[in-house]
Amino acid sequence: MITRLVNAPREMVWEAWTNPEHVKHWWGPDGCTNTIHEMEVKPGGVWRFMMHGLNGMDFPNKIVFNEVVKPERLVYTHSSEDENDPNLFHTTVTFDDKGEKTFITMRGVFATAEERDRVVKEYGALEGGKQTLRRLEEYLSQMNNEPFVIERVYNAPVAKVWKAITDKEEMKQWYFDLSEFKPVVGFEFQFYGQGHNGENYLHQCKITDVIPEKKLRYSWRYEGYEGNSFVTFELSEEGDKTKLRLTHEGLETFPKDNPDFAKESFAGGWTYLVGTSLPGFVEKIHAPQ
């Protein structure tokens, strides 16, 4: 059983959970993406999708909805296309109305306790479920017209992560190739980034707040376009690991008729950068030999 209280009303959570145009952006553990072939949310309806893992492997999934009570409860059977899939299990998801928030409960039932324990141990099902609900909350935050927020924990000390986000030679390994960068209040920097159709956008930024190894904040706008936003990196120790919280606020100030400035685009970009690219850099180069 996995639970999470998310900062969004129940109707919005239901929409994010049952509309494939939303589901494809958040479903699954960190780093996974999905190709949804069909999704019919009704009793007897089928949801087929291919989950693409970080290791390059594809995992076919088939869900059959047994019970649909909008916006309170979903009951479904989860398996693959294999008619005799030994990993088949049943899931009940409830959405409890908490005013402007929603308490989500996911309960999975397996044929035996041994099968449950095996799936948790071999496939990381429990941790994967927790990551899925966290990704849902991150997606809901940008649906809810709030600043985009994403959190990750890295297997590297704070000093190493701080260097990775402030040293231009390391930044170009996972972020953008900057001609110059200094973690000093008032320092201005710029770089080019591409849009969905290959457009080149000149990003213009200015550092507004620096607390070494704890906080880095800078403005973020585009040459020739209206709007201004702010990106904040916050670091904290978790034992010998580092927790990073990234907040990007002010996205609503950018032109709304350009899909490159949509919150979904920023969510996808930041999720890749701090969820895949940055840990792939700091955890690889600082792994014990």
Q: Which residue has the higher pLDDT, 162 or 31?
A: 162
Q: Are 131 and 138 in contact (CB under 8 A)?
A: no
Q: How many domains does the chain have?
A: 2
The CATH number for 124's domain is 3.30.530.20
* Domain termination residue (choose one: 98, 118, 143): 143
CB 26 within 8 A of CB 139: yes
Domain that holds residue 227: 148-285
> Whole-model pTM?
0.56
User: Predicted confidence band at 148 (pLDDT cuts at 50, 70, 90)?
Assistant: confident
User: In which band, very low, low, confident or very high, does the pLDDT at 6 lie, cut at 50, 70 and 90?
Assistant: very high
pLDDT of res. 83? 66
Query: Once rounded to an integer, what is the mean pLDDT over residues 120-142?
Result: 88
**Angle at which helices 125-143 and 263-272 pack, to 10 degrees?**
150
Is the model's pLDDT at 55 over the cut of 80? no
Tens of pLDDT, residue by residue over 26-54, are: 999 988 889 999 999 999 999 999 999 87
Residue positions counted in the chain:
289
Q: Are residues 118 and 136 in the same domain?
A: yes
User: Is 255 found in the same domain as 127?
Assistant: no
Most confident range (mean pLDDT) of 85-89, 128-132, 137-141, 217-221 is 217-221
* pLDDT in the model for residue 285: 59
My answer on whether 212 and 130 are in the same domain is no
| pLDDT value at 87 more than 50 | yes
pLDDT band at 289 (very low <50, low <70, confident <90, very high): very low
Could you tell me if 89 and 155 lie in one domain? no
Helix axes 158-166, 278-285, angle to 10 degrees: 130
pLDDT of residue 267: 86
pLDDT of residue 23: 94
